[in-house]
Amino acid sequence: MRNRFNWPLWLGFALSIAAFATYFTIFAKYPLTRDLPWPSLLIFGVSLTLLAIGTGRAFAAEPRSRSRRVIASIVTFLGAAVFVFFCLAVFVATKMLPKSEQAIAVGAKAPDFVLPDISGRTVSLTQLIAAPGTKGVALIFYRGYW
């Protein structure tokens, strides 16, 4: 049998690294893909499938190609380890973040504050609430990257 390059194995390993890296560099910026990292999980699914195909291909080779089997096993283990580390980092470690002791509960009354408005004038929350015809004030908190 001719020595062929085991492309599914190496492509699967490269995709597992790419799935890990793209979550933190691209997908974590958007709520749709940050909260449930479905694109990364899809890439990991393809990656693990290719790693399994590549490992099967290495073990189906000639009996004398022991080094191919060892390399395929190591590469598959590393690719799976990247996936496990990703799952631990995204699903487990983020749930262990400490709760903010000073955070205002949902539905609680906001404390009074003074901030500049869009035209640069300082406005307090009590001024906004006391304005004629005002039924309430919506507070919008932007979590930005600027």
CA 87 to chain centre: 9
Q: Is residue 103 part of a domain?
A: no
In a domain, 48, yes or no: yes
Q: What is the pTM of this model?
A: 0.66
* 91 assigned to some structural domain: yes
| Predicted pLDDT at 3 | 67
CA 128 to chain centre: 39
Q: What is the pLDDT along the chain (146 residues), one digit of tens a residue?
A: 566 789 999 999 999 999 999 999 999 888 888 888 999 999 999 999 999 999 998 888 777 678 889 999 999 999 999 999 999 999 888 777 777 777 777 778 888 889 888 888 999 999 888 888 888 888 776 655 44
pLDDT of residue 14: 97
Domain count, the chain: 1
Q: Residue 116 falls within a domain, yes or no?
A: no
Domain boundaries, position 52:
7-96
In our burial notation (b when 16+ CB lie closer than 10 A, e otherwise), range 98-125 reads eeeeeeeeeeeeeeeeeeeeeeeeeeeb
Specify if 140 maps to a domain: no
Q: Is residue 111 part of a domain?
A: no
Is residue 128 included in any domain, yes or no? no
Q: What angle do CA 137, 132, 142 make, to 5 degrees?
A: 20
